[in-house]
Structure 1
Amino acid sequence: MTAFQTVANAANTIVRPLMGLPVLSSVLGRGLATLTYVGRRSGKTISLPVSYRKSGSTVTVMVAAPSQKSWWRNFHPDGAPVTVDIAGRKHQGTAVATVSEKGGVRVTIDLATTSS
């Protein structure tokens, strides 16, 4: 595990419980959501805080430093079901990760559909 991954894991461990507190969830929910999915290879349920933008029934997560992270690969190239908790409200959807020519990664979550 790299130093970046160690720091990210520690931050996630602190932020995730804070996002569940009623007083903070509405404030943090303006820019942070909890993404929950089942790992494609591990089969484990994983939850992590992500920065997001929502437009209609689409949630977009831009993955910072994608080469240092592996979670988004669960949605590339095929999509997978996810739950997105935004300010205490859970939404089901399908997430698909796309990689740009420059190496940037975007995860697009369609809340109108779920895959099986």
Structure 2
Amino acid sequence: MRRGTFGTTVNAVAAKLIDAPLVGRLVRRNTVMISYVGRRSGKTFTTPVSYRRGGGEIVIRVMFPDGKNWWRNFLDGGGPIALQLNRSHRTGHAVAVRDERGRVTVTVKLDDQ
């Protein structure tokens, strides 16, 4: 497979599993669909990501951040984000931070919290 094809395939499968009748509830426990507007293209993108919830915040740890670009949309003060969270549409403000070890965390403050 060419570079990027594997990730695209995995994302497509994860997106389908979120709404699957039998396994959807299990997948939704730690996977959320996020939508955001690209910082350069102005296009809307949607992708599944793993998350954990803490109070009124959603925390996304970006695995292999150097191979991904989506989180860069939330640097320097962050930006708006939409989430399909447990079958409900939510919005919020996301901020990405890279620590001294190169790990990236995106924290989403939900608008209605």
Give the TM-score, by structure 1 length.
0.87
Q: How does 1:1-116 map to 2 (within 5 A)?
A: 3=3, 5-112=4-111
In the alignment, the residues of structure 2 paired with residue 22 and residue 47 of structure 1 have an alpha-carbon distance, to the nearest angstrom, of 21
In the alignment, the residues of structure 2 paired with residue 83 and residue 73 of structure 1 have an alpha-carbon distance, to the nearest angstrom, of 16
Runs (4 or more) in structure 1 with deviation over 4 Å come to none
Q: Which runs of 5+ in 1 are unaligned?
A: none
- The aligned amino acid for 2:74 is F
How much identity, in percent, do the aligned residues show? 36
Aligned length: 111
Residue deviations 1:15-62 (CA, integer Å, cap 9, x gap): 212213454432211010001111111111111110000111100000
In the alignment, the residues of structure 2 paired with residue 88 and residue 50 of structure 1 have an alpha-carbon distance, to the nearest angstrom, of 15
- The aligned amino acid for 1:49 is P
Q: Which runs of 5+ in 2 are unaligned?
A: none
C-alpha RMSD of the superposition: 1.6
**SS at the partner of 1:40?**
coil
Give the TM-score, by structure 2 length.
0.89
CA distance change for structure 1 residues 87 and 22 in 2, over 3 Å: closer, same or farther? farther
Pick 1 or 2: higher relative contact order, CA cutoff 8 A, min separation 6. Answer: 1
The 8 Å contact of residues 28 and 87 in structure 1, kept in 2 or not, is answered as: no
In the alignment, the residues of structure 2 paired with residue 23 and residue 76 of structure 1 have an alpha-carbon distance, to the nearest angstrom, of 37
- The aligned amino acid for 2:34 is L
